[in-house]
Structure 1
Amino acid sequence: MATFRREKCTINITGTNRAVRIAGASGGFSDRQRAISSLARLDVDIIVGDWLSECTMTLHGAQKMENEKLRAEGRLMEQPAGLFDPTFIENLSPALPDIARKSIKVAVNAGACDAKLLARTVENEVKRRGLDLKVAYVEGDEVTDVVNRLIKGGEKFTSLMTGKDLKDWEYTPIYAQCYLGGAGIAEALKNGADIVVCGRVADAAPAVGAGMWWHDWNRDKDFDAIAGGLICGHLIECSAYVTGGYFFGFKRLMDGCANLGFPIAELFADGHCAINKEPDTGGKVSIGTVASQLLYEIQGPLYYGSDVTANIEGVVMTEEGNDLGMTAIGGYQAEFHVYICGLDLEAKAEWVEKQIRHSAGDAAKELSCSKFSLNGYCPDNPRNQDVATCDLRIFVQTKNKKLVDKSTLDVPGFNRWCMDNGLQGCPGWTLGNDQRQSEGKIYYEYYVSLLPQSEVQHRVVFPWLGGNTLDVKPCANMKVYPRDQPSYETSNPVNLKSFGPTTRGPMGWVVGGRSGDKASDANVGFISLLTIPKIQYLLDEEYKGGKIERFEIPGIRAVHFLLRDHLDRGFNSTSTYDTLGKNVCEYLRSKWVDIPNKFLARGRF
């Protein structure tokens, strides 16, 4: 359950039940570096942030295993790069004086694959500034050895995306991390930590931990309150997403878009929250922006966390197992771009594709993926040459960089297949002037499953106490949920004709929404009611034939769809432009439908 207040709204509550003020400082490594400094100047109790993603987890995990290999071979340099977010210290350092002076707490997951080293780095920066702040770190998220042991013991590790078992995956896991909850953060704060550094805790876990610490929630029975903290954490985990970032009504916020405000949540003892934002900043906190973020990266009516599960449709809460992500080396990939101009673009693209496939010869048989994508179109009577020019993207993947007949993804190789046809090409084509992407580069596959919490050694380390540790035991009351969540159609469908005359136009004129990714699954939610067949129809050529699941959120008049295995394996290995599923919704909003005129009369987004 969550309640929302607009920005600049004040609330006066006294006594021990005062809400904890949680500021969301980051939704990823590409967020604004000013965040912690700006928020530390405000009246907040704790600053939280998420610096990790499936992309960064994969890259850090693969690099860690490479470091261990080099160390075993005696080839690792003395000081390898830290396997934590390299931008975090730059974000934190300027804020440390305010954090110390105002006794503000900090809890972040920027530790990636080396939370211990990042904690030591933070300690050194605190000392350099002459401050007295205690730094703890949470560990236990790295479970590579546990996973390998369980695999040997016959554990299936069923994919949350495809429903297939790990044995059916074509790759060998090299690294595994699980998503810890917020209980370790809470214990660190209760035992005197000022700054808590974590590796892979769930995106919402820092806010959950803040609520557990502040309100002294009991993990074994305060499920409703903790579930409210989980939803609160979800709302602020992507920072400005809840204050106007990626908002379907963005045109209404254009005046302040240069500097969107970071969110501040007031989380109350019963688990409800009020969302606010920095004063004197752009963006907006409204039902629309908050509902948009609520719909982001969910997978059904049950929002899973490692501390509790929140039922987004109601208020029934319970506990479930940790999510688990495994990384494997997928092989090598490369891409080449040809620009095609003018008339008959599809025929020209077909000409180029036939010639490149001919140049590849038998090497093409060794490609696990070879994709030719014509992107863009030439408008009627184009006003200049650039708008008449489209991008033909040639994308390939293979497990082995060296192919048959001495062919390769090195340059020259794949690069040469594409350039070989320069004087046999169709009219109106030219090479891109940057050939660096045509050099084969390694890519990684990512696999998501579940791991029992009993197999996780979740603990907090207190360096200022000589490295003492505190084990964080799983909740005593646990429940295992099935992979597939409840899915249903609307109970009272209404004929479109009952709304009167209609106008043909893009659905996005009157329907807002948000989409995102969970590995290869895509989720998309709309502030409207649509059916599964309608979504399948609107997807058009984008529909991959996978299962589509649906549920409704009546309180915000929204409907949510989960597109199973829609994203071609996810960020690190996908052959598509939409690496994170964020554009699925905008594609669907651009599709033309019959819109009742009475809806258009209310205005367009």
Structure 2
Amino acid sequence: MKRAVRIGGASGAASDRREGFAQLASAYPDDPVDVLIGDFMSEGNMAALAARKAQGVSAYEFVFVDAITPALADIAKYGIKVVVNAGASDTELLHGVVVDLVKKHQLALKVAWVSGDEVFPAILERTKADPQAFLNVHTGEPLSAWPFKPFYAQAYLGGLGIAAALQHGADIVICGRVSDPSLVVGAAAWWHNWDHTHLPELANALIAGHLIECSTYVTGGNFSGFKELEEGGRWLDLGYPIAEIGAQGEVVITKQKGRGGIVSVGTCTAQLLYEIQGPWYFNSDVTAILDNICFTQIGDHRVSMTGVESAPPPPTTKVGITAPGGFQAEAYYFLTGLDAPAKARLFEQQARYALRSSAPAFTLLSFQLLGTPVPNARTQDAATAVLRVVAQAPTAEALAPELFARRLVDLVMSVFPGGTFHLDLRMGAPRPVYAYFVTRLAQTDVKHRVHTHDGAVVEVPPPKATRVFGAQPSAPRFVGPGVTAGEWGETMRAPLGLVVHARSGDKGSDSNVGFFVSGAEEFEWLRRLLSVDAVKELLAGEYNGKQIDRFELPHIRAVHFLLHDHLDRGVNCTSSVDFLGKNVAEFLRAREVDVPRRFLKRTRDGAKL
């Protein structure tokens, strides 16, 4: 039996640090990895790069070239494979760039690329035949009724095309929109020679991929227990993660030796809860079922994962459709000290009056008071909040400086005491935003192909066995009594986050948020406390009246919620500053509830996840 494959997560986004490939490759003699994966895609850059493609401009993630170049010599020296989705909307073009780069460095590395994710013609053809063929997975709206004109569509591919490319001798595999964890699924399937009949193994690899797809998110980044890392400076130079995946699908998550960060039950739980939509985790190759997932600390920075179950994949795959969504411009004023809400109210009324002739052409005009001045603050910065003004319109001309930003600047002599606008007015210039429509396409309509280093084309067939799934299971409340007064002893009003960790993220306009604790007693309290109605109360003014789904993961002591349509149209055209939904969790952790005092004492006494 072949040993476990060691897969290093060298990039979690186009905005990640660019040293991951070089760090992991150069450490091979003391800390070997077999495959390096790099995730460069998100709903945000999918839309932006689609627009570049439509304009005839190079539309791959150029940061990958910067990241891989210093690593190439070690990759060749140690025989490390590389799998990335940095091709974005120009995979073949990036393939050519990498081939030239390899030749320039005189290295014998074979480069393949994967196609099939660009599906706009199939979408158009089906829509003409059936206007109801494609429904928005978030809103239920048919594509034919969408008030935007799409120009690009990209499907999320599975990992078996990657496996085929590696089986045909590739050292570097360039993909477009394969789903984030498919990078790991493909690498593990190649190493262990799995196919679609190996559902349990693929499901474990899928969740291992989800755990390391965001690179250092699983080693301490974006972790609500971040204060644990301050001791010894462990929050500096967070180490990139490594997934060890055995032939039977056994998974251990670890990280680079000798670098900062941690891998713990807590960091793995947090990353698992990030961006999931329910207990069923779908992929083009397999469906992972999460109800009984469990993490166990088996050593320093080593966590084993068990309990993942499997089912066939759905017959469809996710598709993101992009269209021009108009333009957006912003302006900022600073408010200091007393009466911030009244100052904001004064400015909004003055601004709306100043914009009265321009605003009818706007599709959105929003005034947002960001933050609250600290009372009796010791510094002026701490006593300052920001007033953000956001406008959107169908055309750039409607947001020209003389029609928006200039009119707000001109108010400066009339506004509240101390009123000062931000002198960098570049955000006041109109910039394009993109509407994004998420739907599903039959896998049989996807032409998934591998283009090998020697010019051959290998067809990657869709899975033979699939399953149609309904709505994700949801349990609005714990089955049994809720929190009973006095059951856990004396309580005090305190922020939920003093004893509860959480992680949240975005998927289109939906936001997910998962809460978790370290102890069995705390979990019993948490699951009783957090019903759907309780979360609506915690959301308070942020609750939009839309559906909220709930489920529990008892073995990792977590309660998860999916907040439907919470994020104002998603990252590409939202007016929110929390465009990725990552601060939903932190907002809710700061909300106050009745917390048992003994839980607070345990936290003060150093209980850790």
Shared fold per TM-score greater than 0.5: yes
State the alpha-carbon separation in 1 of the partners of residues 425 and 49 from structure 2.
27
Q: Among 19, 22, 46, which residue is 2:7 paired with? A: 22
Superposed displacement of residue 172, structure 1: 1.6
Say if 2:64 is the partner of 1:94: no
Say if 2:383 is the partner of 1:394: no
CA contact (8 A) 1:263 1:278 kept: yes
Q: Among 367, 387, 400, which residue is 1:410 paired with? A: 400
CA contact (8 A) 2:280 2:472 kept: no
Superposed displacement of residue 44, structure 1: 1.2
Say if 2:230 is the partner of 1:244: no
Superposed displacement of residue 49, structure 1: 1.3
Superposed displacement of residue 445, structure 1: 1.1
Superposed displacement of residue 176, structure 1: 0.4
* SS of match in other structure, 1:164: coil
State the alpha-carbon separation in 2 of the partners of residues 418 and 483 from structure 1.
47
What residue is the counterpart of 1:550 in the other structure?
550
State the alpha-carbon separation in 2 of the partners of residues 376 and 525 from structure 1.
24
Instruction: Write the deviation string for residues 521-541 of structure 1: whole angstroms up to 9, x where unpaired.
Output: 000000042211111100111
Amino acid at match of 2:591: K
* SS of match in other structure, 1:259: coil
| Cα separation, partners in 2 of 1:101 and 1:420, compared to 1, 3 Å | closer
Say if 2:372 is the partner of 1:377: yes
Superposed displacement of residue 366, structure 1: 2.5
State the alpha-carbon separation in 1 of the partners of residues 475 and 112 from structure 2.
42
State the alpha-carbon separation in 1 of the partners of residues 571 and 341 from structure 2.
28
Instruction: Write the deviation string for residues 280-319 of structure 1: whole angstroms up to 9, x where unpaired.
Output: 0111111000011000110001001111110111413211
What residue is the counterpart of 2:285 in the other structure?
307
State the alpha-carbon separation in 1 of the partners of residues 195 and 379 from structure 2.
66
* SS of match in other structure, 2:427: helix
Q: Among 163, 169, 188, which residue is 2:165 paired with? A: 188
Superposition map of 1:38-53 within 5 A? 38-40=23-25, 41-42=27-28, 43-53=32-42
What residue is the counterpart of 2:477 in the other structure?
489
CA contact (8 A) 1:352 1:426 kept: yes
CA contact (8 A) 1:160 1:483 kept: no
TM-score (norm: length of structure 2): 0.91
What residue is the counterpart of 2:427 in the other structure?
437
Say if 2:309 is the partner of 1:319: no
Say if 2:252 is the partner of 1:262: no
CA contact (8 A) 1:532 1:550 kept: yes
CA contact (8 A) 2:90 2:176 kept: yes
Q: Among 111, 118, 131, which residue is 2:94 paired with? A: 118
Structure 2's unaligned 5+ residue stretches are 293-308, 517-525
Instruction: Give the RMSD, CA atoms, in angstroms.
Output: 1.4
TM-score (norm: length of structure 1): 0.92
Say if 2:136 is the partner of 1:159: yes
State the alpha-carbon separation in 1 of the partners of residues 187 and 403 from structure 2.
54
Superposed displacement of residue 485, structure 1: 4.3
State the alpha-carbon separation in 2 of the partners of residues 346 and 513 from structure 1.
29
Q: Among 474, 488, 492, which residue is 2:462 paired with? A: 474
State the alpha-carbon separation in 2 of the partners of residues 399 and 428 from structure 1.
34
Amino acid at match of 1:248: S
> What number of residue pairs does the alignment pair up?
569
* SS of match in other structure, 2:402: coil
State the alpha-carbon separation in 1 of the partners of residues 331 and 321 from structure 2.
29
CA contact (8 A) 1:359 1:420 kept: no
State the alpha-carbon separation in 2 of the partners of residues 387 and 32 from structure 1.
30
Superposed displacement of residue 322, structure 1: 1.0
State the alpha-carbon separation in 2 of the partners of residues 179 and 203 from structure 1.
9
State the alpha-carbon separation in 2 of the partners of residues 38 and 339 from structure 1.
42
Superposed displacement of residue 381, structure 1: 2.4
* SS of match in other structure, 2:469: coil
Superposition map of 1:129-528 within 5 A? 129-154=105-130, 155-219=132-196, 221-254=197-230, 255-314=233-292, 315-320=309-314, 321-402=316-397, 408-462=398-452, 464-465=453-454, 467-497=455-485, 498-527=487-516, 528=526
CA contact (8 A) 2:506 2:512 kept: yes
CA contact (8 A) 2:286 2:310 kept: no
CA contact (8 A) 1:23 1:263 kept: yes
Superposed displacement of residue 446, structure 1: 1.0
State the alpha-carbon separation in 2 of the partners of residues 564 and 55 from structure 1.
19
Superposed displacement of residue 450, structure 1: 0.5
CA contact (8 A) 2:515 2:560 kept: yes
Amino acid at match of 2:90: D
Instruction: Write the deviation string for residues 162-195 of structure 1: whole angstroms up to 9, x where unpaired.
Output: 2222233221211100000001000001111111
Structure 1's unaligned 5+ residue stretches are 1-15, 68-79, 403-407
What residue is the counterpart of 2:303 in the other structure?
none
Instruction: Write the deviation string for residues 186-243 of structure 1: whole angstroms up to 9, x where unpaired.
Output: 0001111111000000000010001111111121x21111111100100110011111
Tell me the percent identity.
Answer: 45
